[in-house]
């Protein structure tokens, strides 16, 4: 599956955050942020999400980690800096709500985002 769009967001601190959009491109589509470990050393924002996710009409947004692909390095960065970048991206995309999904090494990023969220995570039905 090819990335439908590759974009860059300028974050409040001036860094660039690159991301790709897979699946449904319509802004009103249910959206999930997708994290994997594989994108850290590639020019693509992420390995493709599982086909069932995009066949169900989901919009999958896959941001690059800092210093990878289209994202700038952030000196002194910790994992706890990730949620602020994710929320800035959600604001850019005008998302009132979103899900986070991950595979492999991306699970740590989803857990950190859930930990920092003021809204308790919901279990899938």
> 80, 86, 91, 94: which is closest to 63 by C-alpha?
86
Find all residues with CB under 8 Å of 65, minimum gap 6, and list them: 39, 40, 71
Find all residues with CB under 8 Å of 110, minimum gap 6, and list them: 35, 100, 101, 102
Query: Tell me: the pLDDT tens digits for 24-56?
Result: 878 888 999 988 765 554 555 556 666 677 778
> 2, 78, 1, 82: which is closest to 35 by C-alpha?
82
Query: Tell me: the pLDDT tens digits for 51-96?
Result: 677 778 888 898 888 877 788 999 999 989 989 999 999 999 999 8
């Amino acid at each position: 599956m090819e990335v439908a769009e590759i974009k860059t967001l300028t974050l409040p601190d001036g860094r660039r955050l690159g991301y790709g959009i897979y699946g449904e491109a319509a802004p009103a589509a249910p959206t999930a942020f997708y994290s994997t470990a594989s994108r850290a050393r590639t020019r693509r924002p992420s390995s493709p999400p599982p086909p069932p996710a995009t066949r169900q009409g989901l919009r999958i947004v896959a941001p690059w980690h800092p210093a990878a692909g289209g994202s700038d390095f952030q000196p002194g960065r910790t994992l706890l800096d990730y949620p602020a970048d994710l929320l800035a991206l959600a604001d850019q995309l005008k998302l009132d709500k979103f899900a986070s999904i991950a595979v492999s090494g991306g699970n740590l990023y989803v857990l950190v985002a859930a930990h920092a969220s003021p809204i308790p995570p919901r279990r899938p039905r």
